Amino acid sequence: MVTNDPRSGDGSELGLVNDAAVVVERNRVVWTGRSTLAPAADTSHDVGGRAVIPGFVDSHSHLVFAGDRSQEFAARMTGAPYSAGGINTTVAATRAATDEQLAANLARLVAEMRRQGTTTVEIKSGYGLTVADEARGLAIARQATSETTFLGAHVVPPEYADDPGGYVDLVTGPMLDACAGYAKWVDVFCERGAFDADQSRAILRAGQARGLRPRLHANQLGHGPGVQLACEVGALAVDHCTYLSDEDVAALADSGTIATLLPGVEFSTRSPYPDGRGLLDAGIRLALASDCNPGSCFTSSMPFCIALAVREMGMSPAEALWAATAGGGAALGRDDVGHLAPGAAADLVVLDAPSYIHLAYRPGVPLVASTLVGGAG
């Protein structure tokens, strides 16, 4: 069993316990350790030597959308580059969809994640880009998770193509007013073709003034100011981090900001992977997340992201699992998920495998045997 509690088991970061048991009371973990030492319980369940891990914490996804961009993916795989503007394809389809269609699509994707072991998911708006469409997207996301993020600044929509400043005014004014009540976080796509450093700073600061906590899409498509801006505004996590300068790495190390790596994006856009090994060696904490979205990466699978992190980013299976569980929890400022220490949410996954290592060792194989969320299956 992986507890991610270094006080448990072998004393490693993963807190590995062999021949383990976990005791759950109501929706919380109350005890972990060797099964021979387990306190009496009303009911018990033997998982037959299978590995148990904390549920995955997917700290970055975009599940409120309609439409399909499989043709764009096919074009990309035959040579077309990825650009931020493709988002507008999904914006048009999302605006045209009914609330019921958006909610059903989101529920289907959350269920798909659950089957693959994800027990906590962050969900962003960002495919509405009008006051009403962003607010309804967040209201729908709120039904599935408390980790909702206002991403009105995903891209400048076509109707503001000649007036990006006017769009920033909309995002920081009426749109933020309509959305703040449904969101915990504020996010910006700080990238060439989307929002520059000054625009991004203004949006993050406006969100912070309304009680939202900042996070940022940064340095995905090239070098840029996003990572340092995230550190400047005190973001808990900055996401993508594919193209980093030495100054960016130093800023992350100094600020303690978590780098959330999204290797499914590099896989799905055929791009170079972020340097997970280098960041770990620089002392930076990492999270792994899916970035599940219809354009740049339509996987909902955290096991797949773990396999990519191990194969392509120089991370060990242990480092990748930690990043996909405890790292995600830290990136969301949650001390109750991503680990199985006493007091944690009873969110756990039983693998059809004897060890968590199989998540990377057996890529593409559905290894999740069962999942508990808050102690319930």
Q: In the complex, what is the shortest distance from the CB of residue 276 to Zn ion, in angstroms, rounded to a whole number?
A: 18
Return the range that interacts with Zn ion (CB under 5 A); candidates 90-98, 287-295, 334-342, 343-351: 287-295
Measured from the CB atom, the residue of 155 and 170 that comes closer to Zn ion is 155
Measured from the CB atom, the residue of 147 and 291 that comes closer to Zn ion is 291
Measured from the CB atom, the residue of 239 and 319 that comes closer to Zn ion is 239
Q: How many residues sit in the footprint of Zn ion (CB under 5 A)?
A: 1
Q: Is 266 in the site for Zn ion (CB under 5 A)?
A: no
Q: In the complex, what is the shortest distance from the CB of residue 39 to Zn ion, in angstroms, rounded to a whole number?
A: 43
Measured from the CB atom, the residue of 291 and 347 that comes closer to Zn ion is 291
Q: In the complex, what is the shortest distance from the CB of residue 361 to Zn ion, in angstroms, rounded to a whole number?
A: 28
Measured from the CB atom, the residue of 124 and 339 that comes closer to Zn ion is 124
Residue number, nearest CB to Zn ion: 291
Using the rule CB under 5 A, which residue among 58, 134, 275, 291 binds Zn ion? 291
Pick from 305, 333, 343: nearest CA to 117:
305
Measured from the CB atom, the residue of 119 and 125 that comes closer to Zn ion is 125
Give 16's strand partners.
2
Residue 63 corresponds to which tokens in the numbers above?
């599940």
Which of positions 171-210 make contact with Zn ion (CB under 5 A)? Answer: none
Q: In the complex, what is the shortest distance from the CB of residue 358 to Zn ion, in angstroms, rounded to a whole number?
A: 28
Q: In the complex, what is the shortest distance from the CB of residue 189 to Zn ion, in angstroms, rounded to a whole number?
A: 7
Q: In the complex, what is the shortest distance from the CB of residue 122 to Zn ion, in angstroms, rounded to a whole number?
A: 10
Q: In the complex, what is the shortest distance from the CB of residue 60 to Zn ion, in angstroms, rounded to a whole number?
A: 6
Q: Vertex 159, ends 157 and 162: CA angle to 5°?
A: 95
Measured from the CB atom, the residue of 248 and 291 that comes closer to Zn ion is 291
Return the range that interacts with Zn ion (CB under 5 A); candidates 50-58, 190-198, 283-291, 299-307: 283-291
Return the range that interacts with Zn ion (CB under 5 A); candidates 139-147, 289-297, 338-346, 353-361: 289-297
Q: In the complex, what is the shortest distance from the CB of residue 86 to Zn ion, in angstroms, rounded to a whole number?
A: 13
Strands ordered across the beta sheet of 348-351: 52-54, 348-351, 368-372
Return the range that interacts with Zn ion (CB under 5 A); candidates 23-31, 72-80, 285-293, 313-321: 285-293
Measured from the CB atom, the residue of 133 and 291 that comes closer to Zn ion is 291
Q: Vertex 280, ends 278 and 284: CA angle to 5°?
A: 115
- Provide the binding-site residues for Zn ion, judged by CB under 5 A: 291
